[in-house]
Structure 1
């Protein structure tokens, strides 16, 4: 058993969380650059927690410029074991209405301007992201949201687009009708892939703000309406987070789905051929296997 530490990455509209005992904004250094912001740490119901605003307080980072590697590395350095990602999304499904939440379990990655791995020349690794989220953690989020009175859907495919522009009508129709996506957003990739490389359990909660542009009765995305829905979703997201420590508990067994052992057989570069500088940068995310 190890100690649970919950890390929350807050999306648009969520720049802090309430009720932390001993709350403190902390600087965390990372060899992958500066994280999006300081990290808010404290305890809730006796469980250590860390909160990182993905876009920074004041929303200073675009989806493309979010320092995803630094964010995941910094959370790992703090001792986070379980990462909850909350983010604003558009919906491709009538039943997934604005104001609803979706427990995402699959992704289609259409981003192209971001660094997507901690590994590379000097240390090559291939991790499986066939099942990119942790079912145990997703179930806890589903229960927390349901108990908070939030309409939440279990299971959904998230189309990650580069942004910052929204989809064209043709793209929106294609993603919905031919690709089978359920929601669309700009920030969960490469975040989910990096969390897997860092051997962190990861759950993604999509907070629906609009119907994208496919819906015949809603037309193109209206930023004013999105912001209005976003504010209500942010309050609900914080209520969901407040319920997670009681569900996850202070003591943590190994992940039954193997998220915390994702690198077990992933590194292919022979020890004698590994780049020393890259090894030093990997001390947090891959320290468990590199020091074995």
Structure 2
């Protein structure tokens, strides 16, 4: 028997998982319950956890092989981030904290636009897990979007227009729209650097189709005139980012949130830069993106 029980948020996606202490080994029976809940709700929240980096890594690895931290995150001075030495290659620090004039993590305190983690790579992560160590009393909420429902409710004309189409996912900018080190501004979206993926993705586990959008800036649909690509992307994004597909997480210390990066997009609200926010994140290695 498993003591795990699932409490849906009541929104388009998301559920709380109760009866699990991630500081202790999770039984196979309990983990199977968690997997079913993840498949059903796409985003899971484990509240009130007290775990270190090794525990975070151990639990994350139950979902697949750990992915190394992005190069930009690995290049930061994380001496004062609370990160253990053994976790440096596998745990990214998301924070606005500055120590001795140096940021201990990435992505600051500003708004992050709707995006899919690292979709500009040929094999984007299949999942991300984000653990809250220090959070402001207000702001910095994370929104999630159900891309299954966004696809399934597409108007017929939009569904026909994107059928079989592929899109460039911009690798030159981060989720705040900042130009990454080593990249130059691209004026022609047809020359945008980054991986090319189908606009409709087939989930390898559920077998369902989902929109796979990455992020809006720099995107280009192959084979279309730029004006047509822009108009089609604007229409698809307007549909996909409706509040009826969303759920927002208001963070508390000890929250661990897991989401399926293959069928969920997310964003972050801005927050007061004078307040501290410190999160540790793991990612699960991805697999080839299958066309839906």
What is the TM-score of this pair, normalised by structure 2? 0.27
TM, length-normalised to structure 1: 0.27
Q: Greater helix percent: which structure?
A: 1
